[in-house]
Amino acid sequence: MRHVSPDRGAQQAPESFVSFGEQGAQLTYGSYLRLPQLLDAQHLESDPPAHDELLFITIHQVYELWFQQLLHEVVAARDAMTAGRLWWAQHLLQRVHVIERVLVQQVDVLETMTPQDFLEFRQRLAPASGFQSVQFRELEFLSGAKDPAYVERFRGLTAEERVRLDRRLEEPSLWDAFVQVLADAGLPSSDDGQVAASLRQVAHDRSTHAGVWALAEALLQHDELAASWRARHVVMVERMIGVKSGTGGSSGAGYLRSRLPLQYYPLLWELRSQL
């Protein structure tokens, strides 16, 4: 057996061993994630500082980060359907579902704040309101619930935000892309009646239309989870402020309850009654 002296092995180690990511030391965890900027984005309005205002800001900033990710995934899923990459679209929509479940669960964290704690700083929020979340409205438009009147009702909309919302109103939605999928599969899709008939055909012959059926179910799941978030949100608002008006001037929980019947894909829901 050949003997290697300890000294020789020690001399070779520095030459052959390289620590992962240390070459040049130009990128760090903090610089990659822009942590100094990110962690300096929570500025309290209350004076003296209310303890739970940091929680309130953090939760809503995290929501906006998830909305950004959802927009990224939804646009990619729509484009994948348009390009005929059904498996990729379904994969992306499954990711959307997981994120939407996280959105619902985040309400539990916000509800650790009591109404009394919220009232310590709520008056400082006006006229800001969750109604003004441009990304959330972009998600609704992209999902298929396009409401041009929302843009007109929006107070404090910047020129850049107006352009974004107008673009979302004009560009194809997830539903538009799915109707194209039906057409590409040779299924009639010129109007709602034809789409409904094609959906019944797909549902009754899933072996032939497996990819189309899987996408239809993925879209319905997206619709259901969005409804779950709206329902969870309105109950949280009622628990926090009762029937008070929203800080942005809306009717608060009353407005949110009026949004509960919203369905992105009513034809997919009606299909259940026709099977």
Contact 260, 233 (CB under 8 A): no
Query: Does the annotation flag 122 for ligand binding?
Result: yes
Query: Does the annotation flag 28 for ligand binding?
Result: no
For residue 3, count other CB atoms closer than 10 A to its CB. 5
Task: Write the DSSP symbol of residue 246.
Answer: P
Query: Does the annotation flag 60 for ligand binding?
Result: yes
Query: Does the annotation flag 58 for ligand binding?
Result: yes
- Tell me the residue type at 13: A
Residue with the two structure tokens 């929006």: 154
Distance from C-alpha of 122 to C-alpha of 13, rounded to nearest angstrom: 61
Burial 105-114 (b: 16+ CB within 10 A, else e): ebbeebeebe
Total residues belonging to the chain: 275
100-107 own/partner pairs: CB under 8 Å, 24+ apart: 100/70, 100/222, 100/225, 100/226, 100/228, 100/229, 101/225, 102/66, 103/63, 103/66, 103/229, 104/225, 104/228, 104/229, 104/232, 106/59, 106/62, 106/63, 107/232, 107/233, 107/236
Query: Does the annotation flag 208 for ligand binding?
Result: no
Which pair of tokens denotes residue 95?
């990711």
Query: Does the annotation flag 59 for ligand binding?
Result: yes
Query: Does the annotation flag 56 for ligand binding?
Result: yes
In terms of phi and psi (left: phi > 0; alpha: psi -120 to 50; beta: otherwise), the region of 163 is: alpha
Query: Does the annotation flag 233 for ligand binding?
Result: yes
Q: Residues within the annotated binding site for substrate?
A: 56-60, 122, 247
Q: Residues within the annotated binding site?
A: 56-60, 122, 233, 247
Q: Residues within the annotated binding site for heme?
A: 233
